[in-house]
Amino acid sequence: MEAFEALKQLVAAAEEDVIKVDKGNKAAGTRVRKMMQDIKAAAQNVRVKVLEAKQDTPPPASLPPAQPPAL
């Protein structure tokens, strides 16, 4: 699913700046907060795509009624 791959790429791109935040880089914190907003939007997009896929899938066909055993 393309939307999920995009989400994974955004998370991977944020990793370097997250490490910099741990070391005290305040500018990296600003970048991380911006990336988190982008990640939030991408996650919502994945949710929408999953729901669309679920609604496009036809329900399973029901089985015919069981036949009683012959006596």
**1-53 per-position pLDDT tens digit:** 899 999 999 999 999 999 999 999 999 999 999 999 999 999 999 999 999 99
Q: For residue 58, what pLDDT band results from cuts at 50, 70 and 90?
A: confident
Q: Which residues contact 10 (CB under 8 A, 6 or more apart)?
A: 35, 38, 39, 42
Check: CB of residue 32 under 8 Å from CB of residue 17.
Answer: yes
- According to the model, what pLDDT value does residue 48 have? 95
Can you give the pTM of this predicted structure? Answer: 0.72
Q: Which two tokens stand for residue 7?
A: 């989400």
DSSP for residue 57? S
Higher per-residue pLDDT: 69 or 3: 3
Q: For residue 70, what pLDDT band results from cuts at 50, 70 and 90?
A: confident
Instruction: Give, in degrees to the nearest 5, the angle at Cα 43 between 32 and 48.
Output: 155
- The ranges assigned to domains in the chain are 2-56
Q: Which residues contact 35 (CB under 8 A, 6 or more apart)?
A: 10, 13, 14, 17
